[in-house]
Structure 1
Amino acid sequence: MKPHRVSSFKKPAEAALFLEKWNQEVEALNGFSYERITISTSFGNTRIWAANTHLTDAKPVVFFPGARTCGLFWDMDNALKPFRENHRFYIVDVNGQPSLSDGMCPNLKSTDYGVWATELLDGLGLKKTTIVGASLGGLICLKLCLESPRRVKKAILMNPAGIQAFSTSVQNLYNNLLPILWPTMGNLNKFLDKAIFCPPRHAVPDLYRSLISEYLLYALTNHKFRGDYPAPLEKEELHRLTTEIYLILGENDPLFPPNETIRLAEEHILTLQGSQIIPSTGHGIETSKEALAILWEIVNKSACFSY
């Protein structure tokens, strides 16, 4: 398949060393090491972080991260520790994003993301699995559900792109553009406090916060993203979804405000099973222990949802 566009680092060899070291630091803080898997796809190689691959009878779960992040953002402060007990799970570094996967970018306006994600399931030998996505990862989940619905048991979307458009409020645009146009640690931390976290309820310990800031600043100053920015699916596409869909949303997400996501989902996703809003939680919901506890309950069929 011809790549849509190709993202790249200014100094690829240096970036690979930085990213390997960064991921190892996350693992060291967590006291847990992942198995590294590389899968060849139509968009180049994809790095997967795997846990409990030996538990062949365990429930599989596949996690897709958000834009301008990488897979192990899902495991800040040991957030996925409950899944290590008896789940087989896989965390994806998305192609085209600043990660250890190749830079070829799937085309958002086509079936590319669904094709690529299906190839990952093939490479992992997963006939059917639960999928989880945050932000851009939520949109990828929706694309996979459209491309290969029989391969998905349920899709859990956390502050997802793909249902509503990115908010164009003045405050949200300012918070997001500030570190992009002027990538300093000070501006980045303003963005994290205003958009990603919601302290004191939604925050991470200082060592993890430092790692997040270090990664994002490196990505902003050294990575040239060439792909498409998240956009909502057509209403007709949402109508075609046949997979069970669950929503977990942050009350204070300024990028995709939760009430509008719920309104559109209730109107257009016929298989929506329910939604839950987590109080005082920002866009970076994958770092919220409260949200991850609800996620664990949904994966294991013990969550109570209401509209």
Structure 2
Amino acid sequence: MKSLYKSAEGKRAVLGLYDEQLSRIGYPFEDVYVDTAFGRTHVVVTGDPEAVPLLSFHGGNSTTAHNLITSPFLLRGDFRVFAVDTIGHPGKSDEACLPPSGYAYGEWAAQVIDALGFARMRCIGGSFGAGILAKLMCAAPGKVERAVLFVPSGIKNAPVWHSMSMMGPMVMYLLTRREEWFVKTLLPMAGAPDVIDAETLATAKATIDHAKVKAGMPTDVDPERMAACTAPTLVMAGDADRLFPAARVLPQAEAIIPNVTCRLMRGRAHMGALTAEQEREIVGFLKG
């Protein structure tokens, strides 16, 4: 199996940042490894052991450590968080890459739930992670108790040309290694430079510098398969998101998800922190 990292030194750099970020989440955690037919999967378990179990999927070409350090609202006592490293992405799961089309990611996620010892779980995912959750809702609808998908792939993705403006700055960054070009690469997703926080910049740079980036997002799910999932579902999309714009995502979510609540995030691009109000809604929805 080919490594997803460009070098052994690069892998050490990515995992060094991972461990450093995880050490700063401010809550005790444990590392759990589970076996699936797709490969060994790493899960960070944290939060109140007596609280509601919550399975969390991170964004693409990112890590669970970044997800946890930028989502502290999930760790404040409402949930026992099971934050999974997506297989084939930077992190501590196996490096076998799954196809973005089809339902392999959903089947993998269902096997993770089984291996953790649950019949079903409440789930949250953003961006690529929301696409994995959408695939799970189709592949094994009974495994999902409640679901939150924000800035989600897999519902109605924008055409690939919407993100082509990232390519020029990316080429310039790879040629010069100047950070200003890297920031310009992220601007189409962020909307403004001040949206790109230090943790996200460090994680994204580590991935670009040291890993083989996977550009393909989870493809749109089949409406007929999604119709089988009756779990209460919250879908949140931004009207300034070039990858998964609200104007495409929310009408499709209303049409294909049986038990859905849709929220428009005004002024929101793909990247950025959730507002306090949005965080409260997510927590309340997941707790039911």
Range class of TM-score, shorter chain: 0.7 to 0.9
- AA aligned to 1:288 is L
Asked if residue 249 in structure 1 is aligned to residue 237 in structure 2, the reply is yes
Q: Report the CA distance shift for 1:46/1:154 in structure 2 as closer, same or farther (over 3 A).
A: same
2:37 corresponds to 1:37: no
Which residue of 13, 18, 34 maps to 1:23? 18
Superposed CA deviations along residues 120-167 of structure 1, whole A, max 9, x for unmatched, are 112211222111111111111112112222221111111111111234
Which of 183, 188, 191 is the aligned partner of 1:189?
183
Give deviations 1:149-197, integer Å, cap 9, x for gaps.
2221111111111111234455x32036632674442222123343136
Deviation per residue, 1:97-132 (Å, 9 max, x gap) = 122221112233333112211111122112221111
- Is residue 276 of structure 2 the alignment partner of residue 283 of structure 1? no
CA distance in 2, matches of 1:248, 1:133: 11
Q: Which residue of 2 aligns with 1:261?
A: 249
Unaligned 5+ residue runs, structure 1?
302-307
Q: Which residue of 1 aligns with 2:96?
A: 104
**Alignment-derived partner of residue 239 in structure 1:** 227
AA aligned to 1:73 is H
Q: What is the number of equivalent residue pairs in this alignment? A: 284
Q: Which residue of 2 aligns with 1:151?
A: 143
Distance 1:80 1:237, change over 3 A: same
Give me the TM-score of the superposition, normalised by structure 1: 0.81
Q: Give the counterpart letter for 2:52 in structure 1.
A: K
- Give 2:6's aligned residue: 10
1:8 aligned partner, one-letter code: L
- For 2:94 and 2:243, how far apart are their aligned partners in 1? 27
Aligned twin of 1:305: none
In 1, Cα distance between the equivalents of 2:96 and 2:215? 8
1:173 partnered with 2:160? no
Contact 1:7 1:105 survives alignment (8 Å): no
Equivalent position of 1:299 in the other structure: 286
What displacement does 1:42 show?
1.7
- Identity percentage over the alignment? 21
Aligned counterpart, 1:52:
47
Letter in 1 for 2:5: F
* Larger mean Cα displacement after TM superposition, 123-132 or 235-244: 235-244
Alignment of 1:39-118 (within 5 A): 39-52=34-47, 54-55=49-50, 58-77=51-70, 79-118=71-110
Task: Give the Cα–Cα distance (whole angstroms) in 2 for the partners of residues 298 and 176 of structure 1.
Answer: 37
1: CA distance between counterparts of 2:10 and 2:32? 19
Task: List per-residue Cα deviations over 1:217-272 (Å, max 9, x = no partner).
Answer: 22113212468533212333333433322111223211111121011112222232
Moved more, 24-33 or 156-165: 24-33
Q: Equivalents in 1 of 2:15, 2:24: separation in Å?
A: 14
Q: Which residues of structure 2 form unaligned runs of 5+?
A: none
Separation in 1, partners of 2:220, 2:121 = 24
Return the alpha-carbon distance in structure 1 between the equivalents of residues 82 and 167 of structure 2. 29
Conservation of the 8 A alpha-carbon contact between 2:25 and 2:72:
no
- 8 Å CA contact 1:7–1:227 kept in 2: the answer is no
Please list the CA deviations of residues 42-85 of structure 1 after superposition, one character each: whole Å capped at 9, or x if unmatched: 22221111113732xx21111111211111232334x3245331
Cα RMSD (Å) of the superposition? 2.6
